A and B are shown apart, each in its own frame.
Chain A
C-alpha cells in the first residue's frame, strides 16, 4: 500500500493512536507526520496543559504539504491562558493550506460572555484555501474585507453577529452554498441576493431580557432552495422578503409569546400575545405558499390549532410533501386538520417524532389550548 494511502487511512484513527504507529517498523516511523487530517480533542486529557503540549508537538514535525482538515474540539474555560498556542495552531492551519477548519470550543458556564470567546485572528478572513469552516464560541469580527473565495460551507455558533459582519461574510464568500448559524444574536437583516447560497439553517436565537417588544429578522434570499428555522427564537420573529426559489422549508421552532414568561407583564392581555404570534405565523406561511416540501414542528401546529378554534385558516399552500415533526396529543390535532385542509396538492404526508427540539412546553400550550 502506498504511503499516501496509509497516511490517509491513519487519519481515520484518533491522532493519539496514529502517532504511536511509529513503533510498528522503520517505514512507519514518520508516516504519522504526513497525516492529511488532524483532529484534536481535549476531552481525553485530565490536564489541559498536556493537551496543548500534545497538539504543539504533533504540529511541529508535520510534513503534510496540504492539510485536508484541521479540527480542534476543546473546552474554552482553560483556553485563554493558552491563547498564543491556539493562535499558532490557526497560523499552522493557514500555512498548510487547510481546506476544512473546525474550531469547536465550548464553555458551559460562560458561553454568554463575550470575553469568553476566542477572537479569530484577522489572517483567517482572507485565506483562499478554506472550503469549509466551523466556528463555535469564536468571536467573528473581520476588520477588513472577507475573502473566502473557495468557501462552500460555513457554520457559526455561540456568536454575536452584526448586520455588517453578515454582509461582509456573504459578500466575501462568492461560492458559499451552505450556511448554518446557531445560538446567535445581534443581527436582524440578511440579504443574500447575489449569493450561490442554496441552504440556510438558523437555529436558536439568544434573546435578552431587554428585548421586551421583540425584534424582527428579515431574510431576503431569492436563490435559496432550502431553509430551516429551528429551536427557540425567543421573541425574535422572522420575515421572509424574497424566497422565491425555495423548495424545502422546515419550521420547527418556538417563539416566546409576549408576556408569556414574565410576571410583571401580567397587565398584558394574553389575547394580544396570541394575536401577534398568529399574525406572524400566517405571514411566514404566506411567504412559503410555493414551497414543495414542508416540515412543520409542534409549536407552529399548536398555533394553527388556536387559529382553527377561531375559524382562521392557514393560507392555501402548494405543498406536495408535508412532514409533521411532532408527537400526537390533543392540542396538535386541530392544527393538523387546519394544515391538511389548506394543502390541496398534497401527495405525501408523514408524521415523525425524530427531532429532539420538538416538545416545547407541550403541557403549557396544551393547558392554554383547553381554554379555547
Chain B
C-alpha cells in the first residue's frame, strides 16, 4: 500500500481540453514551469490538472518532448538537437501553432523556441499574401491605408519588394 502511495506521488494526471487523461511522471512534468509552480505551491499531485486550452493530440506531443528532455543527461546535447529537429520535421502549420500555444501556456521555453523558430523559417522570404494565409490574417487595410503605412515607414521597405 505504502509503495502505491509513493508511486502516486511521483506521477500526476493531466487532462486535455477534449477530456483525455495523461499520467505523467513528476520529473517529466517539471519541464513545464507552469506545472513546476503548481507543484511547488499548494497543488496536490493527486489532483487531476485540467489544461483546458490544449487538445489531446497536442498534449501527447508536448509530453513526448518533455519526456525526451527530462530523461536525457545534459552531456547528450547533440542527441537532443537531432531529436528536436526530427520531432518537428513533418509537422503541419496547424500542429505547430497548437504546439507554440501549448508551450507558451505551459511555459516550456525550449519547446516554444524550437517551434517558433520552425514557423519563422517557414514564413521567411514569403510574400505577404502567403504569410497572411498561414496566419489566417485578413487584410483589413484599405489600399490607401496600406500605402500610407508603407509610406510612413519607407525606411523599412526600401530595397525590398
Contacts and interface: CB of A to CB of B under 8 A. Distances in A.
A and B associate: yes
Interface stretch (B11-19, B43-51, B82-90, B133-141): B133-141
Interface string B115-153: 011011101110010011001011111000110011001
* Interface magnitude class on chain B: 20 to 34
Contacts of B132: 24-25
B70 interface: no
Contacts of A12: 113, 116-117, 119-121
Given A23-B149, A25-B132, A25-B141, A14 B124 contact: yes
Contacts of B66: none
A58 B140 CA distance: 24
A23 B120 contact: no
A312 B116 CA distance: 56
Given A1-B101, A9-B116, A12-B117, A25 B157 contact: no
Interface string A9-34: 11111101101111111111100000
Given A16-B160, A24-B128, A1 B97 contact: yes
A24 B135 contact: yes
B100 A1 contact: yes
B34 to A, nearest CB: 15
Contacts of B160: 16, 20
Contacts of B145: 26
A44 to B, nearest CB: 10
B146 A23 contact: yes
A27 B128 CA distance: 14
A17 B153 contact: no
Nearest to B146: A23
Contact of A57 (B117, B149, B156): B156
A23 B154 CA distance: 12
Interface in A50-78: 53-54, 57-58
Nearest to B97: A1
A318 interface: no
Contacts of A58: 156
A17 B126 CA distance: 10
A8 interface: yes
Given A8-B112, A9-B116, A23-B149, A17 B124 contact: yes
A5 interface: yes
Interface string B92-111: 00000100110010000000
B150 A25 contact: no
B124 A22 contact: no
Contacts of A5: 100-101, 104
Contacts of B157: 20
Contact of A26 (B104, B124, B125, B141): B141
B84 to A, nearest CB: 14
Nearest to B126: A17
A58 B156 CA distance: 9
Q: Which 4 A-B pairs have the closest CB atoms?
A: A12-B120, A19-B156, A13-B120, A9-B116
Given A12-B120, A13-B123, 18 more contacts: A1-B97, A1-B101, A1-B135, A4-B104, A5-B101, A9-B100, A12-B116, A13-B124, A17-B124, A20-B128, A21-B131, A23-B149, A25-B132, A26-B140, A26-B145, A29-B149, A53-B155, A57-B156
Interface of B: 97, 100-101, 104, 112-113, 116-117, 119-121, 123-125, 128, 131-132, 135, 137-141, 145-146, 149-150, 153, 155-157, 160
7 contacts: A5-B104, A12-B113, A16-B156, A16-B160, A23-B146, A25-B139, A25-B141
